[in-house]
């Protein structure tokens, strides 16, 4: 089951024209990713937990498309779905809509690779796989 995260759009998220500055969507994607996996780390911050274990999760490929603007004061609803989970790679899809009216504003996809301190790929912990299965995205597990 996808995860939905609501994020208020702040003035600092917008450009001089009052529209959300497009790189902020990638920040929202990361917020959605952390929210999706929060249960796997028993309430601890997922990225901090991975870092404490000597790992990081860099993005290796990212794309987004934009269909409608967001403005300061809007609330973005980010739906996060794991599309593929390999041994050490993770592809996540994102759909963003305005929370108040459901209007679609953006979509994206990011592929991450879990790496150790030497920047070598390393397997995801079982808790990550269990989280994906419990959310019903088990078909994404390769």
CATH number where 111 lies = 3.10.129.10
In a domain, residue 40? The reply is yes
* pTM (2 d.p.): 0.92
Q: What is the pLDDT of residue 23?
A: 93
Residues in the chain predicted with pLDDT less than 70, given as ranges, are 138, 140, 142
Q: Range of 114's domain? A: 3-137
Q: What is the pLDDT of residue 1?
A: 77
Structurally, the chain folds into a number of domains equal to 1
Q: Per residue in 48-62, pLDDT tens?
A: 999 999 999 999 999
In a domain, residue 13? The reply is yes
In a domain, residue 63? The reply is yes
The string of DSSP letters for the chain reads: --EEEEEEPPGGGB-TTSBBPTHHHHHHHHHHHHHHHGGGGTTS-HHHHHHHTT-B--EEEEEEEE-S--BTT-EEEEEEEEEEE-SSEEEEEEEEEETTT--EEEEEEEEEE-B-TTS-B-PPPHHHHHHHHHTT-GGGB-
Q: What is the pLDDT of residue 138?
A: 65
């Amino acid at each position: 089951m996808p995860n939905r995260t609501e994020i208020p759009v702040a003035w600092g998220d917008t450009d001089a024209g009052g529209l959300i500055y497009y790189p902020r969507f990638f920040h929202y994607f990361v917020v959605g990713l952390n929210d999706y996996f929060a249960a796997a780390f028993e309430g601890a911050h997922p990225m901090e937990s991975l870092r404490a274990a000597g790992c990081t999760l860099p993005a290796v490929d990212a794309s987004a498309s934009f269909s409608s603007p967001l403005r300061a004061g809007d609330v973005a609803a980010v739906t996060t779905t794991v599309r593929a989970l390999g041994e050490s790679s993770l592809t996540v899809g994102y759909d963003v809509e305005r929370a108040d009216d459901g209007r679609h504003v953006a979509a994206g996809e990011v592929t991450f690779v879990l790496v150790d301190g030497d920047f070598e790929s390393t397997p995801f912990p079982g808790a990550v796989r269990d989280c994906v299965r419990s959310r019903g995205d088990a078909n994404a597990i390769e």
